[in-house]
Amino acid sequence: MTSEGTRAVHAGLPEVRPGGPFGSSPVFASTFHLSGDPDGPYQYGRLANPTWVALEAAVGELEGAAATVTFASGMAAVSGTLLALAEPGATVVLPSDGYPATRSVGDHLAARGVTVRLAPTAGDALPAAVRGADLVWLETPSNPGLDVCDIARICELARAEGALVAVDNTLATPLGQNPLALGADLSVASGTKALTGHSDVLLGYVACADPEIAERVRSWRTLTGGIPGPMEAWLAHRSLATLHLRVDRQAANALALATWLRGRPEVADVRHPGLAEDPAHAVAVRQMRRYGCVVAFTLPDREHAERFLDALQLTAVATSFGATHSMAERRGRWPGESVPPGFVRFSVGCEDTDDLVADVAQALDAALGKVDG
Ligand SMILES: Cc1ncc(COP(=O)(O)O)c(C=O)c1O
């Protein structure tokens, strides 16, 4: 099997046998029958479960990983990786413009003797911050600003310093980019978003190039218990079969919406890495195969953005991205986000493009007061 869509359909599934089902069912077990000295893969539910093991094989195949560890949520994966790998005295570089909770984990690291350096995803500060670091954390494209950094270049600089590189691959998904193939040591993601894509699962994973590093992360998970539930792992695995269909459709819709938004005078700073005019495009095109489902743009002020969001009919106001249904929010409503008051993060779903653009058009008109009443 060579192509990635085919891999996504079949990854981690058992061989089909005559009279057998096409998938495996979730194994609900807090413990497994175990006599004598502990032996075998399944002993106790916090240590391993066959439903995650199958999902880990599938995600690992798509990420090109030697070993993968799944977690209960993206933040369990992010914090598990950082806490397992950043020891007191280490220097860690984190994005200043990425998902705010990752920076908050950085505050906990700093309180435990780790030096934390913050650097924005785009520009020269990030390559400079790699000097003397032990662990470099990238989030590209960044959430919510959609800046992109050159993964291969940062990995080269980090290797010269003996530093590990972890990339938050939530927004791109393994069908959008493969950080490990670009030289990263870890690809970490929230599977809650586009990977599972139906707004019904919280999940995270850490895909590792080196099995020994995966073992350190796995031991941390076993110790602290941030394991995925079997039902979530099963739902996630089931969703992988449509991942390529969903991300292709979302990427096409996102590009169409971003292109259309550029023609609206009240809309500023339309960002999407797939747009040829986007400041991130030149780097994105070298390392991404699909540009994700998020479009960011800025309306004149908070009230204008709120009128726009209230007027959306097809698109729900919600705080997430990557689902089959479109959703949007004013990102500045969350503490820790430094974006303009009118900044909107729009997650494009799998709806028909014309319906989506028509919904955004009528909501922008309503926000301007063109069609109200
Ligand atoms: C880039 C990124 N990383 C990690 C997370 C955390 O994921 P979760 O909500 O599954 O814990 C998020 C959540 O939005 C995210 O956007």
- Which residue owns the Cα nearest ligand 1 atom 8? 74
3-state secondary structure of 349: coil
Per DSSP, 19 falls in state T
Averaged pLDDT for residues 209-236? 98
Asked whether the beta carbons of 113 and 91 are under 8 A apart, the reply is no
Element of type H or E holding 135: strand 135-139
* Domain residue extents for the chain: 4-240, 243-368
Looking from the CA of residue 320, the nearest atom of ligand 1 is: 14
pLDDT of residue 144: 97
Q: 10 Å Cβ neighbour count for 42?
A: 16
List the one residue out of 253, 254, 267 whose CA is nearest residue 340: 267
Report pLDDT digits (tens) over 330-346. Answer: 999 998 898 999 999 99
Asked whether the beta carbons of 193 and 320 are under 8 A apart, the reply is yes
Q: How far is the CA of 75 from the centre of ligand 1 (A)?
A: 6
Q: How far apart are CA 285 and CA 176, in angstroms?
A: 11
pLDDT of residue 19: 93
**DSSP for 158-201?**
HHHHT-EEEEE-TTT-TTT--GGGGT-SEEEEETTTTTT-SS--
Element of type H or E holding 218: helix 211-224
List the one residue out of 138, 7, 121 whose CA is nearest residue 61: 7
Structure tokens at 229: 């539930």
Q: What is the 3-state secondary structure (H, E, C) of 110-131?
A: HHCCCEEEEECCCCCHHHHHCC
3-state secondary structure of 333: helix
pLDDT of residue 211: 98
For residue 215, what are the CA distances in angstroms to 44, 238, 303? 17, 26, 49
Q: Is the peptide bond before 141 cis (omega within 30 degrees of 0)?
A: yes
Q: Is the peptide bond before 144 cis (omega within 30 degrees of 0)?
A: yes
Query: Is the pLDDT assigned to residue 372 strictly greater than 80?
Result: no
Report pLDDT digits (tens) over 56-108. Answer: 999 999 999 999 999 999 999 999 999 999 999 999 999 999 999 999 999 99
pLDDT of residue 336: 84
Q: How far apart are CA 76 and CA 90, in angstroms?
A: 21
Going across the sheet that includes 164-168, the strands are 67-71, 204-208, 186-190, 164-168, 135-139, 91-95, 115-119
Please report, to the nearest 10 degrees, the dihedral formed by the alpha carbons of residues 259, 261, 263, 266 taken in order: -160
Structure tokens at 329: 């929010």
Catalytic residues: 46, 99, 168, 193
Ligand 1: which residues within 6 Å by Cβ?
Answer: 73-75, 78, 99, 139, 143, 168, 170, 190, 192, 202, 204
Q: How far is the CA of 264 from the centre of ligand 1 (A)?
A: 30
Query: Is the pLDDT assigned to residue 52 strictly greater than 80?
Result: yes
CATH number of 243-368: 3.90.1150.10
Q: How far apart are CA 26 and CA 199, in angstroms?
A: 19
CATH number of 4-240: 3.40.640.10
Averaged pLDDT for residues 3-21? 92
Q: How far is the CA of 24 from the centre of ligand 1 (A)?
A: 28
Sign of CA dihedral 315, 319, 323, 328: positive
Q: How far is the CA of 100 from the centre of ligand 1 (A)?
A: 9
Averaged pLDDT for residues 190-212? 98
Q: Which of 147, 192, 200 is the pocket-test mutation for ligand 1 (most atoms within 8 Å of CB)? A: 192
pLDDT tier at 371, thresholds 50, 70, 90: low
Looking from the CA of residue 142, the nearest atom of ligand 1 is: 1
Q: How far apart are CA 129 and CA 160, in angstroms?
A: 13
pLDDT tier at 373, thresholds 50, 70, 90: very low
Burial bucket for residue 283 (CB in 10 Å: 0-12, 13-18, 19+): buried
Query: Is the pLDDT assigned to residue 2 strictly greater than 90?
Result: no
pLDDT over 70 percentage in the chain? 99
Looking from the CA of residue 203, the nearest atom of ligand 1 is: 10
Asked whether the beta carbons of 243 and 173 are under 8 A apart, the reply is yes
Q: How far apart are CA 275 and CA 372, in angstroms?
A: 32
Looking from the CA of residue 139, the nearest atom of ligand 1 is: 1
